Structure 1
Amino acid sequence: MNSLIGTYECKVDAKGRLLLPAPFKKQLAASLQDGFVLKRSVFQPCLELYPMKEWGLMMQKINKLNRFVKKNNDFIRRFTAGVKVVEIDALGRLLVAKDLAGFAQINKDIVLSSAVNIIEIWDKDLYEKAIDDSIVDFADLAEEVMGDVKDDEHGIS
C-alpha cells in the first residue's frame, strides 16, 4: 500500500459513526473489502485505523516477540487493548466503539489525519493541541528526526 494523504474535519453522529471522507475512501478502495482494525494509539490520545493488510504486517512484527519475556507480554497486552475489527458500510461510515471513543475523548467534532499507512482519528481540540508549534518546536523536531538521514538515491529535501 502506498502512503495515505490528507487531513479532514468530520463529525461523529449520535450512534458513534463517522463518514469516511471521499478522498480517504478512494485511497482505501482496495482495502474496503478486507476491513480494518481500530485501536488506541500508543503515544497520543487518539485512535489508529489500520487497513487489514497493514495490521497483518504489524502483527508479523509483534509475533516475533518472545512471550516468555514479561516486558514483551505486557507490551502486547497494552498494544492490543481495545482492538476492534471494523468495516466501512455501504454509505462509507465507520462505527467507533464507545470504549475507544472514550479513550480518545471523541464526542462530535473530529479530525481524520493520514499517518503514512494508517489514519489517526482525533478529537478536534486534542488534534489542534497536538500539532501546536508553541508546545513543540517542529523545526527542532524535524532536524532531530530527519537531519541525519543519509539517502543518496532519494534525498529528503
Structure 2
Amino acid sequence: MERFVSTYAMRLDSKGRMSIPAPFRALIARDGLEHVYCHPALDLPVLQAGGARLMAGIDSLIERYPPYSEAREELAAALYGSIETLRLDPEGRVMLSEGLKTHAQIRDEATLVGVGDSFRIWEPNRFRAHLAEARAKVRALKQEIGSQGATRDSRGDGA
C-alpha cells in the first residue's frame, strides 16, 4: 500500500494557490478523488490533509466512542466540522482558505510532509523547529531502547 512520504517545500502564488506534489496527487487520484480533504490539526499549528485514508482514520477514531456520547459528538464536530474539501485544479493546485492559513500561520510558503496515511502542511519555520524537537526525542528514545537491551543482555540468560 502506497503512503504519503517525503517533504516538499512549496510557495503560494499571488492568488494563494499551492501545488500539491505529484506523488501526493497520485495517491489522491487512486482514491478516485479530484480534491484533498484538509483540516486544522487538533493539537498543533499545522494542517492535516489527504484522501480516503485520512477520512477512514477519522471515522475509526470517532467510532471508538459510543453513539451519542459527549466525546464522540465533540470529536465529530471538531474533525468533520472543520474539514474543507480543497478542489485540485488542472495544474494540481489547491487554494487554502484564510482560516486554514491562519491556523497554520502560513503566508507565502509551506512545507508538505508525508506522514503515512495523510500529509501535513506546515509553515516552514515551525516545521523545522518541530522536526528538530522530534529528532531529539527519537535520539533519546533510541538511547533508552538501547540501554534496555543492554540491561537484558547483561543478565547472561539470553532473555
Q: Give me the TM-score of the superposition, normalised by structure 1.
A: 0.77
User: Partner of 1:132 in structure 2?
Assistant: 132
Change (3 A) 1:32 1:126: farther
Deviation at 1:59, TM superposition (A): 1.6
Change (3 A) 1:99 1:140: same
Deviation at 1:84, TM superposition (A): 0.7
User: Partner of 2:108 in structure 1?
Assistant: 108
Establish whether residue 42 from structure 1 lines up as the match of residue 59 from structure 2: no
The sequence identity of aligned pairs, in percent, is: 18
Change (3 A) 1:26 1:77: closer
Q: How does 1:1-157 map to 2 (within 5 A)?
A: 1-31=1-31, 33-133=33-133, 136-141=136-141
Aligned-residue CA RMSD (Å) = 2.8
Say which is worse superposed, 134-143 or 7-16, in terms of deviation.
134-143
Unaligned 5+ residue runs, structure 1?
149-157
Change (3 A) 1:96 1:32: farther
Unaligned 5+ residue runs, structure 2?
149-159
Deviation at 1:118, TM superposition (A): 0.4
Q: Which is richer in helix?
A: 2
Does structure 2 retain, via aligned residues, the 8 Å contact 1:36–1:52?
no
Q: Give me the TM-score of the superposition, normalised by structure 2.
A: 0.76
Runs ≥4 in structure 1, deviation > 6 angstroms?
Answer: none
Deviation at 1:34, TM superposition (A): 4.9
- How many residues align? The count is 147
